[in-house]
Structures are given as C-alpha cells and as structure tokens.
Structure 1
Amino acid sequence: MKKSLLITIDYPPTTGGVANYWSNLAANMPAESFCVLAPDDENSVRFDKRQDYLIYRRCLFTCKKWRWPKWLPIFMHTKNIIKRENIEKIVVTHILPVGTVALLMKLLYKIPYVVSMHGLDVSYATVSLRKRLLSKLILRFSDTIIVNSNYTKNLMLKNLCDKCESKTKIIYPCPNVSYQELADQDLNLFKKDNKLEDKKVLLTVARLVRRKGQDMVIKSLAKIKESIPNVVYLIVGRGKEDVRLKKMVDELGLREQVMFFDDIKNKELPFFYHVTDAFIMPSRKLDDGDIEGFGIVYLEANLYTLPAIAGNVGGAPEAVIHNQTGLVVDPEDENNIAKAVIELLSDKEKSNWFGQKGKERVSEEFCWDKQADKLKELL
C-alpha cells in the first residue's frame, strides 16, 4: 500500500460530518501508510496524541490582506510533507479549495490524487462558472472520486463530470454510536418520569430545521391518533424551528402527544431508542436545494432494532430500504406519513422484522473498519 497524505480543512476536534467521516476512516488505516495535514487548532493536542497515525497541524490559509490564492500555504505544506514522508498519493476531503492543490501536485510532480465529495461540495462547486470549470478539471485529472452515497454520486455526475462514473466509488458514513444495554429498572423509571407507560412511541433525533420534517409528523398526528390513540411523539434536538414547531403543537392541541427534548447528551440517547417503537425523519428537499445526503441517524435507530421511516428524496432511501428496514414516504404528504406510522405501530410483527433486518444490515455493512477496507483498495 502506497503512503498517502490526507489534506483536510475539517478535522477533529472540530465537529461536523466531514471531520467525523474522515477521522473514523483514518483511524482504521495502517498508521505507517497514512498521515494527515489538518488546520492548526489549539485544542487538537489531546486528540492528536490518541491517534496512531501522524497529523501535521499547520495554518492552511493566507491572511485576509493576501486575498488570492488563499490556499498557497496548503500547497507549500503539502510539498514539504510529500518530500519528508515520501508520499505517493494524495487524498483531499474537499474539491475546493484543497482539490486545486492536489491538481497542481499531479501536474508538477505527477503524484496521483483522490477527491472526496459530499452533497454540499457539489453545490459549492457549481455556484459560479469559474468554480464549475475548475472543479471539472480537478475531477477529470483525479485517479479516484469517493462519494458518501449514490445520491451524491449521481449529483456529481450530472453537474460536474458525466464521464467519471467508472472511477467513482462509494464509501458510506457509519453510525457513531454503539448499542448500549440498559437495566429494566432504569428504563421503567425513564418511562415513568416522561409518562410513556403504555404508549406507542415515535421518535425523531435531529436538528430542528425544516429539512428534517418534524413539522410534517406533527401535522400527521391527528390522523394517526384515530387509529393509534396512545401515540406519543418525542422530538430530540434543537434548532431554529423550535418556536414554530411548539406553536404548531399548541395550535393543533397536541400537547399531550408531543414532547420536546432540547438538551440531551449523547450518553442519554440510548434511553430514547430503547423506549421507542418506530423512528421517523421524513426529510425533504427545500427550495434552496438543501437535502439529506444520506442519514446516519436512521442507521443508529436500526442498531436498536427500530424500524425507520424516511423521506423519498436525497440519500435517505439508501439509508432506509423500503419494506426491508423500514418505510420510505412522500415527505410532503401528511396522509402518506400517517399511513406509514399506523402500519408500523399497529403491526408489531412487521415492525420487529424491519428492525431486525435493519440491525443486521448495519452490523454487516455499516462499520468503519469495513468501509476503510474500501479505502485501502483505492490507495
């Protein structure tokens, strides 16, 4: 395996999808064959010491007075690391601006490179003609393109590089939680404290933003109540839709059915998963193009043997396999959402089967070590 350099502008202790995705893949790579160039961060020492592989922390961009090219420090640091570590392949986590450096390294020093693409990368690469043309050039000269879902792959092929399909590979993100067993007495106390005894529980764990679709679940509850009178809906998360959603609950007279939890730590999430009957997040596409690129949270619910309900747009239908690990619905149709919820909450055998299939799928396919094996083959 060739020694590779990962160049990234998002890396722990910074949080976020890209940082999480690549730090987990890096942790499962052979330490002697992989190193990272990441932004300087005063809080990074503790994280870096825990890693087996080498991390170079550098200032990656020029000061504001020097407006272009801001990525020049990345170029210089990359050149130095290539020489010091005998790097034979480069991996970049963003097509812009880091991909520009990789392109130059190939043109000047014939070092092959891999580009990683997420949905937002495609959107950013197409905001101007200059960015689009540069992105097309970067993809054209790349050895391999890594995407996080089929949805992202198709978006990239359609908008940036229709001839890149053969060299595009999918490496899926994986859940960051592991199944945690809880004592019956602790669960019973949690149910009692939250008045969940003898209830059919729906759960959404997500930021409170329009894309996630909590409002559509709330709207569908009136119809769901007709068939499942003991239904309750737990909304875990915080965000700018908080006030609007709570007002909607009041206006629809659903205070007894909807509960908000906006200050929940990760270690508390297992309690919510254990008391839930079905997970739901009918994510939708917004007018500005914002869309769910995949949806790790569906897989996290599957880990707890829960069936999941997802919207039929973006990458969500890859995370939830319709009629196998859950149900896929029209996220703009409250009747369709209600029908799916009623189907799962009224048919325990089907619900359990979906949940079990989901857990098996996550355990077999969506593990970081198995996804890292795909990366090893590419490098």
Structure 2
Amino acid sequence: MGRALIVTNDFPPRAGGIQAFVHGLASRRPPDSVIVYAPRWKGSEAFDERQPYEVVRHSGTLMLPTPAVARRAAELADGCDTVVFGAAAPLGLLAPRLRAAGAGRVVMLTHGHEAGWARLPVARDLLRRIGEGADVVTYLGDYTRRSLASVIPESKLTRLAPGVDVSAFRPGAGGADVRKSLGIEDRPVVVCVSRLVPRKGQDMLIRAWPLVLRRLPDAALLLVGGGPSRTALQRAAAGLVARGSVVFSGPVPWADLPAHYDAGDVFAMPCRTRLAGLDIEGLGIVYLEASATGLPVVAGSSGGAPDAVRQGETGLIVDGTSPERIAEALVELLSDPAAARAMGKRGRAWIEEQWGWDRVADRFERILTGTAVPDSPRH
C-alpha cells in the first residue's frame, strides 16, 4: 500500500461535515500510509497527539495556493505515491507543483462549493484548470456530478460520499439523558444538529415554529451547534425560548453528537441555496447521521441534500424558503409517531446497507490505487 499526502483546509479540530469526512478517510487507512497537511486551529496540538498518523500544520487558519504553501506541500509529497486534496477548490491549483515533486497520482474531493464554482464564468475557468491537474475528481451525489460534468471530463469523475459510523449514531445513543438535562422530557422534539449559518435554515425553523405550536403546543425545538448566526437566532426566538419551546444547546463535542440526535423524535435542517448558487448544500451528512440514529428527517431542497434522503421513505424534502411547507412536514411527522418511527427504521436500514464507513473506506482505497469500478446509484 502506497503513502498518500492529504492536503486540506478542512480537518479537525475545526468542526464541520467536510472536516469529519476527510478525517474519516484518513483515520481508516494504515497509520504509516497517510500524512495530513492542514491549517492550525485552537486545540490542534492536543487533537494531533491522538492521531496514529502524522499531521503537519500550516502556521495559519487558512491555506491558499501560495508559493509558501506549495513549497511545504511539495516537501511533504516527497515519498508519497498519491496526493489527495480534501477539497478541490482552491488548493487543487497546486497539483502541477506536486506532480513535479514526485506525486504519481492526484485525487481531488469535491463538495458543495465546487458545484457553485461551476455556475460562474471566472470560477468555472479556475475549476477547469483544477480538474486538468487531477487523475480523479470525486463527487457526492447526482446533483454535484451534473454540476461538475459541465467543467470536468466525465472520465475523471467518480462517486465518493461520506460514511456514517453506525455503531456511534444509533437509536438509544443517550437521548434520554440529553432530554432530561435540557428539561424537555416527555415532549415531542424536533432536533437540528448543524453549524448556525443562514444556509442551514435554523432561522426558517424558528419562523415555522409558531405554526407547529398551533397544532402541537407542547413541542420543543432543539438547536444543536454554534456559529455566527447564534445571536440573531436567539433574538428571533426570544419569546419562544422564554416559553421553553426553543432550546439552544450550544456546540457540543463530537462524542456527544449521537446522544443529541437521539434526543429528537424528528430531525430537521431545511437548508436553502443562497448567494446566486454559490452557497449550496453539497450533500448533508447530518441527514445520514440522523437516519442512522433512527430519526425521520426533514431536508431542504438545496443542491445535493435530496441525495441524502429517500423522499417519503426515510424523510421529507421541503422548500427551505417556506415556513409553511416546513411546518406542514414537521406537524405531519410529529402527529403520527408510529409512521415517523417506521420512517426512521427504514432510514437506519438504508444507512447500514449503503453508507457504512467500511464500504466508503474500501472505495477510497480503490480510488487511490486506480482500481475503482463505476459505482451504482444510492437510490
């Protein structure tokens, strides 16, 4: 097995779905077969000490394709067979320099923002240049594939979506204790686990919540996570918070996330596309983690989010710009607990069958070695 250098801006201890995805790929390879080059974040040293493989940190919190970053990456690429870019844009522009340093194979992962780049003229040209430097460009699902195929040759495209740790994200993962600690026992609970930013739709959940309370006055909305929108969201929910129907947990450690999913009866993140298509949901690992925990999900129709839901089977897809549609979906699921549980059970089975980490890690290895076969649809 050859050695791979992973060059990425997205890596723990910074929280996020892409960070968890890239970390999961690195962690499932033999320790001596991977080295990671990533930015420095608060808590990096302690985090890196716990990893069985080498992590090299950039001096700042963001890496751009500058000469200094290129030089350091080239030094680290010495002795590596493959270079993996945790996100193709913009660091994939370094690919020619790393090939010159000896990298025989270049693999680039893409997420939602590359699909956004494909929509804009200048960004499209940069993405085309990035794709020219790759042997393989991965995509998350049908939406991102269609977007990328307008810029990158289809012969280079292959699917690689995140995996879910089904042993951690499972029914009975500790939700009862979370409910008790937050004072929401014996109430119908909608939970949203995500960074608090406009695209994720927590603001629309709060706007929809009075409509939900008209039908289900004892329901509670649990918002898990931190982010720049927290103060604005708390102001928007001020009256509802006072009545105990909207609860902010704040950010929680990764190890506690399964229990917070498990505290809900329904998971909802009504994401929406913003900024003329530049701010878009690539997939939505949270929907998969919620399904693994046995929850029915309510997802927004942004970008590739529908690829993480089987409409009507594991969840409902709604217009994330409509509080009315969001409220209707939530009331439908909360009002029929038996049907909601059945939907969650189907979601759990789907995750176990299609989204387990063993399957993803095996595919990643085949992509690195050039032996991957065309993948079958998830749906």
Map 1:188-227 to 2 at 5 A.
Answer: 189-190=180-181, 194-197=183-186, 199-227=187-215
Structure 1 residues 257 and 219, CA gap change in structure 2 (3 angstroms): farther
In the TM superposition, what is the alpha-carbon distance from 1:271 to its structure 2 partner?
A: 5.0
What corresponds to 1:21 in structure 2?
21
Question: Does residue 1:88 correspond to 2:81, yes or no?
Answer: yes
Structure 1 residues 185 and 371, CA gap change in structure 2 (3 angstroms): closer
What corresponds to 2:71 in structure 1?
76
The percentage of aligned residue pairs carrying the same residue is: 31
How many pairs align?
364
Q: After superposition, give the CA deviation of every residue in 1:149-197 in whole Å (9 maximum; x if it has no partner).
A: 3333322223x32xx223212221234753474679847844xx61543
Query: d(CA) in 1 for partners of 2:141 and 2:184?
Result: 39
Secondary structure class of the residue paired with 2:299? strand
What corresponds to 2:373 in structure 1?
none
Question: Does residue 1:99 correspond to 2:88, yes or no?
Answer: no
List alignment gaps of at least 5 residues for structure 1. 64-68
Question: Does residue 1:283 correspond to 2:266, yes or no?
Answer: no
CA contact (8 A) 1:249 1:258 kept: no
What corresponds to 1:259 in structure 2?
246
What corresponds to 1:66 in structure 2?
none
Structure 1 residues 183 and 219, CA gap change in structure 2 (3 angstroms): closer
Structure 1 residues 376 and 23, CA gap change in structure 2 (3 angstroms): same
In the TM superposition, what is the alpha-carbon distance from 1:110 to its structure 2 partner?
A: 7.8
Deviates more, 1:179-188 or 1:30-39: 179-188
List alignment gaps of at least 5 residues for structure 2. 369-379
In the TM superposition, what is the alpha-carbon distance from 1:317 to its structure 2 partner?
A: 0.9
Question: Does residue 1:114 correspond to 2:107, yes or no?
Answer: yes
Query: d(CA) in 2 for partners of 1:42 and 1:304?
Result: 30
Map 1:289-368 to 2 at 5 A.
Answer: 289=277, 290-368=279-357
Amino acid at match of 2:311: H
Query: d(CA) in 1 for partners of 2:175 and 2:75?
Result: 57
Secondary structure class of the residue paired with 2:29? coil
Query: d(CA) in 2 for partners of 1:115 and 1:305?
Result: 32
What corresponds to 1:30 in structure 2?
30
CA contact (8 A) 1:225 1:231 kept: yes
Query: d(CA) in 2 for partners of 1:41 and 1:214?
Result: 26
Amino acid at match of 1:7: V
1:173 to 142, 152, 162: 162
Secondary structure class of the residue paired with 1:117? coil
Secondary structure class of the residue paired with 2:163? coil
CA contact (8 A) 1:175 1:297 kept: no
In the TM superposition, what is the alpha-carbon distance from 1:90 to its structure 2 partner?
A: 2.2
Query: d(CA) in 2 for partners of 1:11 and 1:187?
Result: 27
In the TM superposition, what is the alpha-carbon distance from 1:259 to its structure 2 partner?
A: 1.9
| TM-score, normalised with respect to structure 2 | 0.80
Query: d(CA) in 2 for partners of 1:59 and 1:214?
Result: 33
Amino acid at match of 1:368: W
Map 1:147-158 to 2 at 5 A.
Answer: 147-158=139-150
Secondary structure class of the residue paired with 2:250? coil
Structure 1 residues 194 and 168, CA gap change in structure 2 (3 angstroms): same
Amino acid at match of 2:358: D
Structure 1 residues 211 and 38, CA gap change in structure 2 (3 angstroms): closer
Secondary structure class of the residue paired with 1:91? strand
Q: After superposition, give the CA deviation of every residue in 1:70-123 in whole Å (9 maximum; x if it has no partner).
A: 63344434444444x2x3332222434532332244478683311222222454
Q: After superposition, give the CA deviation of every residue in 1:2-42 in whole Å (9 maximum; x if it has no partner).
A: 43332234434444444332221011123444333445779
CA contact (8 A) 2:141 2:307 kept: yes
Query: d(CA) in 2 for partners of 1:70 and 1:214?
Result: 33
Query: d(CA) in 2 for partners of 1:332 and 1:40?
Result: 36
